[in-house]
Amino acid sequence: MPTVPQPDDPQPGDLQPGAAPPGDDPQRCVTHTTRLTVTDDETFGPGEHARLIRRGTVILGPQQPTLTDLTTGRCGGDTRVDVRVTYARAPRRAVTVSVQVRLFETHHPDRPAPAAEVSVSGRVPDGQTRTLTARVRAACLSVTVSNLSLNPADPAGTLEAKAQALGAAFTGAPTGPCEAVRGGHRRRYERCDLYFSPATGAHEVHGDIRRKYDARGGPDSDLALPVTDQTPTQDGQGHFNHFQGNGSVYWHPRTGPMVIGGPTRALWAASGWERGPYGYPTSDPLGSDAPASGPGERFSDFQNGVLFLAGGAPLTPATATLNAGRLVHAFERALRRRAGAQRMQITAVTCTGVSDTAPDFSRSGNRTVTFRVTGEQRSGDWAIPEPTFELTVPVQFAATPPPDARRAVTLIARQAGVIGLHTAPHPGAPHAGAAHPDPEGHVRALHDLTDLFRAPVRLAVIPAQAGLLSVKVLPGGDLRLYFRPDERGRAAATLARRTLDQLDLWPASP
């Protein structure tokens, strides 16, 4: 059996799992994070590994003195690693943690028992955080546990203990006393707010998630009290807080803080949360009051799609798509029209990249497509080689106002950053100093060429009855419109496909 680090030896008098301490002992709020890393050259390639992260919060009290959590990680073939963690109340407001790691190789029928296993245990005193670690062959495990005793009769003391556990560098100074709020108590600090109730435990909310929670009404809103601290997401790029009202606020640096809850959150979770095909939410829940809409219709916008539910059941939105290649072609057509008037010859137009979504407080901005344009200016003098130029033009396709399935929307294209401009003598010039007959006119003509998006270009007006849900640029550069999944929405999507096929980025007359 491999050597296992022992973070804390059990203290004298600690209870074994299943034993309950005296009834007047306060509840424990146990926040835990289990990280399982499996290295498997057969499945992942040489030196590669997979990581599984499980987080949660449990309340241990007289009604539930112990809790056991099981996490399973698959390795190559039929090999799996089972991690069983048991949390139990102990005297002096402590919590004991018992971890059992078992490696099964089920592709060997003659080995029904674990091929290897190891156990580790420790004690987490009140107001502290401890980490237990273990290794079984190629599987590495760490379980981080925070313990905070909860005394319903002393919410101020509980919140003070929580603040001490987080540290003054995290919370800042308190800005008010412990106060009663709907369902529990709160104390505000410079950098976070702490909430407590016997049912949810003590948890912090900070940053943009705190701003969003407050803007929505805090504990008086449908979110109610937090049931987790702010927690990193599985992909390591964002954060979230779960709330008592069957809702969450998810934050990503390229989306901002967005609320998601109810059946929509359950459907998103089933798809793989933020690591699934939808990515992060880019809007709060939106309702559909369009004509002929049924009761209970809600939808949420995501980085890579839209989830639409009616009566709690998911429906697939109608869509119209202009693929990335045709989008580049539409941009090139518009640019050539302007270039012809400026005696500029365009040799190539390409897409050099698609950005991530842009953060906002209520509805994330769309991705930006960057086009690269190369060409020459016609001087009119055949004896002088033409100077070359290269432009990089960032363009954002958007809808104004943001679509909500019930109002008319204008589809626009606009400049979304600094246009890059580079000029150089033609490679065929006899020497680097070969002059252009009108250098100022050359530069002026180039600037005129970049004025295509000086003001937003109106592409189309989509009427309210079409039920537009979202306008989105996908990671590969496709432009996609989403409509309500009903007869009118499908008809609007059909018409939109024809419009996109003939998309004109040339500014319309006012």
Q: What is the pLDDT of residues 125-176, one digit of tens each?
A: 998 999 999 988 878 889 999 999 888 889 999 999 899 888 899 999 999 9
Helix locations, 255-342, DSSP H: 262-270, 324-341
The answer to whether the peptide bond before residue 401 is cis (omega within 30 degrees of 0) is yes
The pLDDT of residue 17 is 32
Give domain limits for the chain: 27-149, 155-252, 321-501
Helix (H) or strand (E) holding 66: strand 66-74
319: closest CA among 445, 420, 468? 468
Alpha-carbon distance 300 to 281, whole Å?
Answer: 7
**What is the predicted pLDDT for the residue at 435?**
47
Residue 369 to residue 371: CA distance in whole angstroms: 7
Cβ neighbour number for residue 71 with a 10 Å cutoff: 18
Q: What is the pLDDT of residue 187?
A: 98
**Contact predicate 75/139, CB 8 Å:** yes
Distance CA 208, CA 206 (A): 7
pLDDT at 47: 47
What pLDDT is recorded for position 510? 37
Return the pLDDT at 87: 96
Judge contact between 398 and 412, C-beta under 8 A. Answer: yes
Tokens of 206: 């900070």
* 407 Cβ contact list (under 8 Å, min separation 6): 401, 464
What are the CA-CA distances from residue 233 to residues 133, 242, 279, 370, 398 (Å)?
21, 12, 12, 29, 28
For 343, counting Cβ atoms within 10 Å of its Cβ (0-12 exposed, 13-18 middle, 19+ buried), the class is middle
Helix (H, G, I), strand (E, B) or coil at 366: coil
Residues 247-282 pLDDT 10s: 999 999 999 999 999 999 999 999 999 999 999 999
Positions in the chain short of pLDDT 70: 1-24, 40-49, 74-78, 106-113, 288-295, 339-343, 378-386, 425-452, 506-510
- Alpha carbon dihedral 31, 33, 34, 38, in 10-degree steps, equals 180
Per the listing, tokens 């950098």 go with 191
